[in-house]
Structure 1
Amino acid sequence: MKRRTFLEGLFVSGAAAACGHYVWYHNKVGQKVMVPHQHVTAQEISNSAHIEKAHQELSLNIEEFARGTRQEVEMLRDLEAQAQTQIPDDVLARATELANKSEHDHEHDHDHDHGQGVDEHDDDYLERVRRFDDDFESDIWLNEQEMRVMVSASTRLEQVRDWVGFGNFNILTWDDMLRFARTVPTIGEFTPQELAFMDGLFHRDARELGFYGERTTIELTKQIREQDVVRVPRSGHFLYRGESSELYERLVRDIGDTLILTSGVRNMAKQFDLFLAKAIQTDGNISRASRSLAPPGYSFHALGDFDVGKVGLGLGNFSSEFAATREFRKLQEMGYTKIRYTVDNRYGVRFEPWHVRVA
């Protein structure tokens, strides 16, 4: 079920959870949290003074928000949070061959790229990587109360994203996100329960979820300066100036314009939006969500990594199907790139042939 359809049918009445640290617990496989479905109607915008105030308070330039661009690339946001396909044997064999070649060509980076963070007592991490979209006994689930708070926070994040525009939401600061929600009547201020939930998730040690990548961001309020990024035309995304943007331009020049940017710089609001959307899709299994998306604070998209795809491949750009494309083969054979999340990687993350390592 598409996330928008799910959320439109979900009634969030205001969380009853007390503000503070949330309790995370292990649930039995199959005991999924069920949230009652009722209809939610959005308020009409009726106070232009509030809207104008929101525009004035934002540090970003509202006049440059590309509404048309947002409409063009709205589908990408859903694609980034999905991709649930099995890896065909022939694709896996080819991808493994290319990944191994890439590893051999970058032996000096070996320790870093394999994470070295896997718990020595975690004997099942490899099985979880290979079956990333299955539920496991050791997975951590949200309880019903946490699920309600998460859904309401996710809904509010989505409303902020729709208001500022898809592309600009990628680099929106945490403080501006909160200010936007507080000032725009149709969004509404984030509740103490929602903020406590997101703060707890951000500061949580992701190893407890089975994610063994390193933390990349220690500040929830990280700023991304406009002068440090470039907007990539017809993509709705930004790349950091310098190494990231230069690498992408070189890839397009040498591989061809069938190679496209599918995800670039992500600030904290964007990573939360994607991760919570995935956690909703997994019915609150946040361990399973972390096998497909780095938890907030752990994404290398915050430092310079980016995702690429093939024109016309659609959702396949975020699945192992991309590993069977000419574009992926050229990425590896030309020696320009090294994928961060290889087959059977030690991060605890699914194979991501589309994820280009820069940072």
Structure 2
Amino acid sequence: MRYAIGIKMNKEDFYFDLPEELIAQDPLEDRSSSRLLVLDKESGQTSHKIFKDIVQYLKSGDCLVINNTKVIPARLIGEKEGTGAKVELLLLKRREGDVWEALVKPGKKAKPGTKISFGDGILTCEILEIVDEGNRMVQFNYEGIFEEILDRLGQMPLPPYITHQLQDKNRYQTVYAKHEGSAAAPTAGLHFTKELIDELTQKGVIIANVTLHVGLGTFRPVKVENILEHHMHSEFYQIEAEEAEKINGTKEKGGRVICVGTTSCRTVESAADENGLVKAGSGNTAIFIYPGYKFKVLDALITNFHLPESTLIMLVSALAGREPVLKAYEEAVKERYRFFSFGDAMFIQ
């Protein structure tokens, strides 16, 4: 889906200078004690808080939309049968049965017919076909339950800027993760604790669950100069009727729809008709939101601090304006906020 606005937008328009030491390598002990930069999208004014202060900003009758996808330990390290060469697979999307689309490294040697063994043969796979670049269709063979084998052999598919594996796999899951299928966490949700969600519910905030399985697009940088030529990968989403009713009912009564993370935002915007009515159902979305996009459902956004020149900073800029967002990011750098997946949060209202 494209939302062309008749002008060229360059990738470097969304660049900011980020010192490497501000990239958070580990999650905080207490999820809700991260910092929170609040940005008013009308005035551009900012204020500095702690994440648990989010309770002060949400009112009774607001609807908080959370993405309840669960990250699978989708990173498998195996050996090529015959040569013993190391091969890494990142599972992206289950196609049918035991056939998956996966990112294979090194891709050049992963030709159709290649067989790979994991965990001394507990799990094996054969490459069926080349999809594009490093992507392959693979067929798994095993005895038992695939999810249990994956839990034993797989690692959490942490982003490339995180340099070590987690001691506790659950720290790369939200506390409300439910439906397995993501290759990356919806990281804005990592700041919530069960207690914080209970506090919001008691205050009269409505919690609506949606599911979007985060895929390859999260790892792929924008390579084209003119961002309007960027191609987003599609991701599966699902919204139950009851949850769509919560969102639509909130809009009807004049409450705000506040999305936790860009994944929740893209889900509701993909599922909405031209009148902003969210339709229940499932499908695949390749929605790309950048400045000029008119939001149909979302009123406010809780999000993390994103990579320079990424589709995510473009989405945030569509909501609050490119210049105010870049100014807020500069302030976050100056104030030594922690960036990316395990970093601090931002509330755009």
Which structure has greater helix proportion?
1
TM-score (norm 2): 0.28
Which structure has greater strand proportion?
2
